[in-house]
Amino acid sequence: MRSQALFLALAAVAAPVAAWDPFGHQTVGYLASKYFSESTAAHLTSLIGLSDRFDIGDAAAWADTVRDADGLPWSKNWHFINPRADNPATNTCKLEYPSDCPKGNCIIDAILNQTRAIMNPSLSASGRRNATMWVLHFFGDLHQPMHASGYKYGGNLVRPVCFGPMDQCNNGTSGDRVLSLHSIWDSAIPRKLRGLKAYETPAADKEAARLWAEDIYESQQAQADGTEEAREECGSMGCVVDWATESNRLVCEHALSKGEQWVLTHDLSGDYFLENAKVVQSQVGKAGRRLAQWMNALADILDQLPPVTEATRGEGDGYPTGDL
Ligand SMILES: *[C@@H]1O[C@H](CO)[C@@H](O)[C@H](O)[C@H]1NC(C)=O
Ligand SMILES: *[C@@H]1O[C@H](CO)[C@@H](O)[C@H](O)[C@H]1NC(C)=O
Ligand SMILES: *[C@@H]1O[C@H](CO)[C@@H](O)[C@H](O)[C@H]1NC(C)=O
């Protein structure tokens, strides 16, 4: 049961830390762009208005800047799904769709819905731009296991935890940051993996994201040679549910595999970090590659649509929707 009190508690705890660091999202954007077809790159450039000053990394991180009170706060629940049965005490990770997505207010429906919105010629340019940036963003979130966990609101209420030498851990805070299992997966693990401090300049974060994408791309190319994984293709609705389910399982298999008590009482920057950095690296890699496949399939459909002009705007019915 989700009482009002718990929602308020979540709002208080979750506000500063509810998504991959921009750095993680930027990496997914840069990585995906290495796999975009020419047509995809052209469509995204015009849909979003990409330039050197606002590039694909910025576009992938945008959604977190409009999630809070002064932006588009109703989009907040689109960043995650909270499966109700999840419980580490019984090693249960169980995502049930659509029942775990009340009123379509979760990341799965948001991806599907916003993908349709990109193809909807009757939507305003601003609406299609936002829809495009939401899809870029949600592919990142979908691959962050804590965004697909219903246990204590995606680990936001799993506190205190320690990430750093135990004697520097101050009951679940680190400097002015509130630590939670969620924030450890969003920020602490990826930042430590790439040698970043908790705070760097935005330019340093973006440069680090470019380099991380480069490294992941190279290792994917090295493994590629026709393996199943490299050829994995999925442009259908059901894949989104599969990917969410995969993320959800990673919580039982890795994030909380040692149990909640263990996580609450150990320094997670040691062996826990080493094990789970591999999971993070692999998930960011999947997010980028899958996002590119999704966008490439979408671009094929956009290619078949008449260009959006004032004359066609508003004639929503009868447009092909393809099989995305
Ligand atoms: C789905 O799209 C409609 C129309 O664009 C919008 O009003 C609604 O909020 C969207 N919901 C999600 C979960 O994306
Ligand atoms: C798109 O997002 C911006 C915030 O970046 C907002 O001001 C604008 O109203 C949104 N457009 C639509 C159609 O919702
Ligand atoms: C940590 O903080 C919580 C509440 O914020 C408190 O109940 C608990 O006693 C504290 N634990 C330690 C070891 O200080």
With a cut of 50, say whether residue 42 has pLDDT above it: yes
pLDDT for residue 164: 81
Q: Whose CA is nearest to atom 7 of ligand 2?
A: 71
- The yes-or-no verdict on residue 154 having pLDDT over 70 is yes
Tell me which range, 109-123, 155-169, 234-248, is most confidently predicted by mean pLDDT. 109-123
Q: Ligand 2, closest atom to CA 65?
A: 5
What pLDDT band is residue 5 in, cutting at 50, 70 and 90?
very low
Q: Helix (H, G, I), strand (E, B), or coil: what is residue 267? A: strand
Ligand 1 contact, 114 CB (< 6 A)? yes
pLDDT confidence of residue 50: 95
pLDDT of residue 176: 63
CA angle 205, 208, 214 (to 5 degrees): 145
For ligand 2, is residue 65 a contact (CB within 6 Å)? Answer: no
What is the per-residue pLDDT across 246-260, written as a single tens digit (0 to 9) for each? Answer: 999 999 999 999 999
**pTM for this entry:** 0.86
250: its two tokens: 């990673």
Ligand with minimal distance to 54 CA: 2
CATH of domain 4-161+202-304: 1.10.575.10
What is the C-alpha end-to-end distance of the chain, expressed in Å?
34
Mutate to test the pocket of ligand 3, among 166, 167, 171 (most ligand atoms within 8 A of CB): 171
- b (16+ CB within 10 A) / e for 162-188: bbbeeeebeebebeebbbbbbbbbbbb
pLDDT digits (tens, 9 = 90+) for 296-313: 999 999 998 766 544 444
Does residue 66 line the site of ligand 2, with CB under 6 A? Answer: yes
Which residues lie closer than 8 Å to 180 by C-beta, 6 or more apart?
13, 17, 155, 156, 157, 158, 159, 161, 172
Mean pLDDT of 76-103: 95
pLDDT of 168 above 80: no
State if residue 105 touches ligand 1 by the CB under 6 angstroms criterion.
yes
- Confidence label for 197 from pLDDT (cuts 50, 70 and 90): confident
Which comes out higher in pLDDT, residue 314 or 102?
Answer: 102
Domain chopping of the chain, boundaries: 4-161+202-304
How high does pLDDT run on average in the chain?
A: 85
The answer to whether the CB of 130 is under 6 A from ligand 2 is yes
pLDDT for 227: 55
Residue 17, pLDDT > 50, answer no
Lowest mean pLDDT among 56-60, 103-107, 202-206, 265-269: 265-269
Contacts of 111 (CB under 8 A, 6+ apart): 135, 138, 139, 142, 240
